């Protein structure tokens, strides 16, 4: 049968478009956006200055290979810059990985509450997303390995995961890798690595360095405070880097992002300050919200997953509406198969205190 109009490739119309976190609350003057895991501290001063400087030469194309940024990243993390690719956010890189390694009939595995970009990127290539069940809101290595088939080409693992905030120890990541056939690409998405303070956690650098089928993606959107600029990077084996460099846009990272990224990655003091703010308030929120009787999934990232009862008047959707009216914008996570939960980014002291107070009010308690 001939189509009467242009048809997208198979899979495209199966995609449920990604819905970003809300950023406004109608009728509320002061809004605290706690819906997209942005840092309440913003970028450091040297980063903002580097960004502004580029405004003097917006007529020039950026360096298409982002060499200066790759060198700075390589320097800070002790990596070979030739094995780094930068992207317009890690979204860009995750999609490029999917495009390079997946096609019709292939399968890519992610976990039940895994980051939604994975199934979107997978479906866009015509491949099929395969969902591995989690245990206690945490990736389960055995469940993933059980789903590997001859059609599996990619395994996506966010570690820590968004929106759950949970992680698996490096030993488990290594066990996952050992159980995968050599032709399957393991994608470790370490968007929140800088926040994790656990001795048994690693972002995956060592595993990438010693294998031919592992890549690690990182972002400047979270602890570095550059979400608006869209900047991420990946570290991978030379052959994967080569494939991604062939299909990426020749100028996929813009000049202000490159300049800001170089300054941000070198501003170790600012990163440390953000990490300290986060660990203090992550612990405080987990405890205070828990005291209200709302279970909070233990998080190692810069957000918490708060679980609500199903009882009318107490639900996650009703809590969201209640908080929004007060300018406190959290994230509904129904699309992540968590209809009874809200995700809250760790905010400023003011925002954190306001949320706990408002939640207490919502539940008819005093905090
Ligand atoms: C926020 C986030 C990213 C970062 O995406 P960018 O495109 O770099 O802004 C990547 N992975 C996960 C799991 C995230 O939560």
In a domain, 358, yes or no: yes
Residue 18: give its domain's CATH number. 3.90.1150.10
How confident is the model at residue 366, as a pLDDT? 67
Percent share of the chain, pLDDT over 70: 99
In a domain, 296, yes or no: yes
Residues 6+ apart with CB under 8 A from 309: 315, 340
Q: What is the mean pLDDT of residues 33-60?
A: 97
In a domain, 5, yes or no: no
| Same-domain status, 170 and 293 | no
Q: Does pLDDT of 79 surpass 90? A: yes
Give distance in angstroms: CA of 115 to centre of ligand 1: 8
In a domain, 6, yes or no: no
CB atoms < 10 A from the CB of 300, how many?
A: 19
Dmax (CA) for the chain in angstroms is 65
Q: Is 115 in the pocket of ligand 1 (CB under 6 A)?
A: yes
Give distance in angstroms: CA of 219 to centre of ligand 1: 6
Percent share of the chain, pLDDT over 90: 94
How confident is the model at residue 367, as a pLDDT? 60
- Residues 110-148 pLDDT 10s: 999 999 999 999 999 999 999 999 999 999 999 999 999
Give distance in angstroms: CA of 120 to centre of ligand 1: 13
Q: Is 219 in the pocket of ligand 1 (CB under 6 A)?
A: yes
Residue 133 CA to residue 110 CA, distance in Å, equals 9
| Same-domain status, 67 and 119 | yes
| Same-domain status, 224 and 313 | no
How confident is the model at residue 69, as a pLDDT? 98
Q: Evaluate whether 190 touches 204 at the Cβ level (below 8 Å).
A: yes
- Residues 246-276 pLDDT 10s: 999 999 999 999 999 999 999 999 999 999 9
Can you tell me which atom of ligand 1 is nearest the CA of 90?
A: 8
| Same-domain status, 252 and 111 | yes
| Same-domain status, 194 and 311 | no
pTM, 2 dp: 0.96
CA nearest ligand 1 atom 15, residue: 162
| Same-domain status, 202 and 321 | no
| Same-domain status, 255 and 275 | no
Lookup: tokens for 366? 């005093």
Lookup: tokens for 282? 């992550």
| Same-domain status, 17 and 125 | no
In a domain, 242, yes or no: yes
| Same-domain status, 246 and 331 | no
CA nearest ligand 1 atom 11, residue: 191
Instruction: Calculate the alpha carbon distances from 198 to 45, 223, 300, 301 in Å.
Output: 29, 17, 8, 11
In a domain, 2, yes or no: no
Q: Is 74 in the pocket of ligand 1 (CB under 6 A)?
A: no
| Same-domain status, 74 and 200 | yes
In a domain, 341, yes or no: yes
Number of domains making up the chain: 2
State the virtual CA torsion across 119, 165, 34, 110 in degrees, nearest 10. 0
Q: Is 139 in the pocket of ligand 1 (CB under 6 A)?
A: no
- Residues 301-326 pLDDT 10s: 999 999 999 999 999 999 999 999 99
Instruction: Mark which of 218, 237, 267 sits at the end of a domain.
Output: 267
| Same-domain status, 173 and 63 | yes
| Same-domain status, 29 and 62 | no
Give distance in angstroms: CA of 90 to centre of ligand 1: 6
- Residues 171-220 pLDDT 10s: 999 999 999 999 999 999 999 999 999 999 999 999 999 999 999 999 99
Give distance in angstroms: CA of 75 to centre of ligand 1: 23
Residue 101: give its domain's CATH number. 3.40.640.10
How confident is the model at residue 26, as a pLDDT? 82
Can you tell me which atom of ligand 1 is nearest the CA of 230?
A: 9
Domain that holds residue 115: 45-267
Lookup: tokens for 240? 């994967």
Give distance in angstroms: CA of 303 to centre of ligand 1: 13
In a domain, 153, yes or no: yes
Supply the mean pLDDT for the chain.
96
Instruction: Mark which of 267, 291, 318 sits at the end of a domain.
Output: 267
């Amino acid at each position: 049968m001939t189509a009467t109009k242009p048809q997208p490739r198979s899979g495209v119309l199966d995609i449920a478009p990604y819905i970003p976190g809300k950023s406004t609350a109608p009728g509320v003057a002061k809004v605290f956006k706690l819906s997209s895991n942005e840092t309440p501290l913003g970028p450091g001063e040297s980063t903002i200055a580097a960004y502004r400087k580029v405004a003097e030469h917006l007529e020039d194309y950026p360096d298409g290979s982002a060499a200066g940024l790759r060198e700075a990243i390589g320097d800070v993390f002790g990596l070979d810059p030739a094995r780094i690719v930068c992207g317009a956010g890690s979204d860009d890189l995750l999609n490029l990985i999917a495009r390079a390694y997946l096609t019709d009939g292939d399968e890519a595995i992610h976990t039940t509450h895994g980051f939604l970009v994975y199934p979107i990127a997978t479906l866009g290539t015509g491949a099929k997303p395969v969902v591995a069940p989690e245990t206690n809101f945490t990736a389960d290595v055995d469940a993933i390995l059980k789903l590997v088939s001859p059609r599996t080409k990619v395994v996506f693992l966010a570690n820590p995961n968004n929106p759950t905030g949970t992680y698996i120890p490096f030993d488990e990541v290594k066990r996952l890798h050992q159980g995968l056939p050599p032709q399957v690409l393991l994608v470790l998405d370490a968007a929140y690595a800088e926040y994790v303070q656990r001795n048994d956690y690693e972002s995956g650098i060592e595993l990438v360095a010693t294998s031919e089928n592992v890549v690690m993606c990182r972002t400047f959107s979270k602890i570095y405070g550059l979400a608006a600029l869209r900047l991420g990077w990946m570290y991978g084996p030379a052959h994967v880097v080569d494939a991604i460099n062939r299909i990426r846009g020749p100028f996929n990272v813009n000049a202000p992002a490159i300049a800001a990224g170089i300054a941000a990655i070198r501003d170790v003091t600012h990163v440390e300050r953000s990490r300290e703010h986060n660990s203090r308030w992550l612990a405080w929120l987990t405890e205070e919200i828990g005291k209200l009787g709302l279970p909070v999934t233990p998080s190692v990232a810069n957000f918490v997953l708060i679980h609500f009862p199903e009882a009318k008047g107490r639900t996650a959707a009703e809590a969201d509406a209640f908080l929004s009216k007060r300018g406190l914008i959290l994230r509904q996570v129904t699309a992540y198969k968590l209809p009874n939960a809200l995700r809250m980014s760790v905010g400023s002291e003011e925002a954190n205190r306001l949320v706990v107070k408002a939640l207490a009010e919502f539940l008819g308690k005093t905090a």
